[in-house]
A = this chain, B = another copy of it.
Amino acid sequence: PRRRQLSVDDYVQGVMNSDRAIIAQAITLVESNLPHHREKAQKVLKQLMPYTGKSIRVGFTGVPGAGKSTLIESFGMMLCEQNHRVAVLAVDPTSSISKGSILGDKTRMEQLSRHPNAYVRPSPSGGTLGGVTKKSRETLLICEAAGYNVIIVETVGVGQSEITVRSMVDFFLVLMLTGAGDELQGIKKGVMELADAIFINKADGANKQSAITAKMEYNRLLHFIQPITDGWETKAFTVSALTGEGISHIWEVIEKYKEVTIRTGIFETKRKEQMINWVHSMIGDKLKERFYGKPLMKQSIAEIEQLLIHGHTSPSLAVQQLFRIYDEKR
């Protein structure tokens, strides 16, 4: 049977009542690229805006194999048992070619998904990174309006995705692993500098001692890096998703962070900045979309790049030529 069309009010009421089926449909609406869906989604979001902003937004990143999903599930379960309401979203730099999802398996976090206090959103199934980002932010707002008070935004550490997630959360957690011997190798460039806390996972069994050693090494390194959040010192900790040791500590660190940053006003300032920056980055994206989306632009760019590489035009002239094409009547 065809699902009946929900009205703007149906969406708004359903989300406010925290109806999980309607939340899912509202997110699908937000993720849609169809113009009439976009328009409706914007009406829904506008009505929900006054009810957003009351969660703590936590970003989680880590290399594949670091055990992110397992840890988030244990962490989420713990919070749900303490009567928190937890939503888990993913910013997934889905390839726009394959339209496949890197994170996405629909059965992920099965236990947490079934908890009445949790909402686990599978990854969006298509689109470019920019698109997914925009939608992830809107999805986050919907979850907040639905009353989830801890929003976890997960990302696999590919491309610019950490920077994107950092720009939409209050607290950013980087999950690391330790290996035998060369403990700190393979840190992705710049990721440590985005972190509000580093957790070294799999601190259990034979691995525990090397995780502790790695923690000390990270703390040594962190000493030389300016913390990302004013008035907060980024530190490294160990955790084990397997034994559960250290999981409650994640929440303690986040609560401490919230207390400190709210007291200093940084929390609010950062939220406002993030929202304003979001608007300006959407403006930049849209301007580029128009420019590069102009018919024949792709071909003209390829031609002019060839002229450039062979020294037959200068970069500034190339820009002038491309704008002449852009400004032509269609």
Contact = CB atoms under 8 A, between A and B. Distances in A.
Interface of A: 42, 45-46, 49-50, 52-53, 134, 137-138, 141, 184-185, 187-190, 193, 221, 224-226, 272, 275-276, 278-279, 282-284, 286-288, 291, 304-305, 308-309, 311-320, 322-323
Contacts of A315: 137, 275, 278-279, 282
When A and B form their complex, which 8 residue pairs have the shortest distance between CB atoms, in order from nearest? A287-B287, A45-B314, A50-B311, A282-B319, A49-B311, A189-B226, A279-B315, A278-B315
A302 to B, nearest CB: 11
A42 B272 contact: no
A312 B275 contact: no
Contacts of A314: 42, 45-46, 49, 138, 141
Contact of A276 (B46, B52, B283, B308): B308
Nearest to A38: B316
Given A224-B187, A311-B50, A45 B276 contact: no
Contacts of A141: 314
B311 A52 contact: yes
Nearest to A278: B315
A312 B49 contact: yes
A45 B224 contact: no
A167 to B, nearest CB: 12
Given A52-B311, A319-B282, A224 B224 contact: no
A39 to B, nearest CB: 9
A278 B315 CA distance: 7
B190 A190 contact: yes
B286 A288 contact: no
Contact of A279 (B275, B284, B308): B308
7 contacts: A42-B314, A42-B317, A45-B314, A184-B224, A272-B309, A278-B315, A279-B308
State the copy count for this chain.
2
Contacts of A283: 288, 291, 319, 322-323
Of A278, A288, A311, most B-chain CB atoms within 10 Å: A311
A42 B323 CA distance: 15
A185 B50 CA distance: 44
Contacts of A225: 187, 189
A66 B184 CA distance: 30
A320 B43 CA distance: 12
A272 B315 CA distance: 11
Given A193-B189, A283-B322, A284-B288, A316 B138 contact: yes
A42 B315 CA distance: 9
A282 B138 CA distance: 30
A311 B309 CA distance: 49
Nearest to A188: B226
Nearest to A192: B224
A298 to B, nearest CB: 13
A316 B185 CA distance: 41
B275 A313 contact: no
